[in-house]
Structure 1
Amino acid sequence: MELFIKNMVCDRCKMVVQNEVTALGLTVTQIELGKVTVLEEHIDPVKEQLEQKLNTLGFELLTDKKVKTVEQIKNLIIASIHHSDDNLKVNLSDYLSEKLNKDYNTISSLFREVEKNTIEKFFISQKIERVKELLAYDELNLNEIAFKLNYSSVAHLSSQFKKITGISPSVFKKQAEDSRIALDKL
Structure 2
Amino acid sequence: MTTLHIKNMVCNRCIKVVREVAEQLGFTVDQIGLGELQVKEVLQDAQKEQLAALLLADGFELLDDRKATLVEKIKGVIIREVHHNQQRRHQNLSVLIADELHMDYSYLSNLFSSLEGTTIEKYTILQRIEKVKELLVYDELTLSEIAWQLGYSSVHHLSAQFKKVTGLTPSHFKKIGENRRKPLDGLQ
Distance 1:88 1:157 in 2: 18
1:119-153 Cα deviation digits (max 9, x unpaired)? 00000000000000000001111011001101100
Distance 2:114 2:86 in 1: 31
Who is 1:122 aligned against? 123
Shift of 1:89: 1.7
Who is 2:186 aligned against? 185
- The one-letter code sitting in structure 2 at the alignment partner of 1:164 is V
Who is 1:77 aligned against? 78
1:102-131 Cα deviation digits (max 9, x unpaired)? 000000000001001000000000000000
Shift of 1:42: 2.4
Distance 1:88 1:95 in 2: 10
Identical pairs, percent: 52
Q: Structure 1: give runs of 5+ residues left out of the alignment.
A: none
Who is 1:4 aligned against? 5
Distance 2:18 2:38 in 1: 11
SS of residue in 1 equivalent to 2:38:
strand
Query: Is the CA contact 1:146–1:152 (under 8 Å) kept in the aligned structure 2?
Result: yes
Distance 2:107 2:125 in 1: 20
Question: What TM-score, normalized to structure 1?
Answer: 0.98
Residue correspondence of structure 1 range 92-131 to structure 2 within 5 A: 92-131=93-132
Taking only aligned residues, the RMSD between alpha carbons, in angstroms, comes to 0.8
Distance 1:81 1:111 in 2: 18
Distance 1:18 1:42 in 2: 16
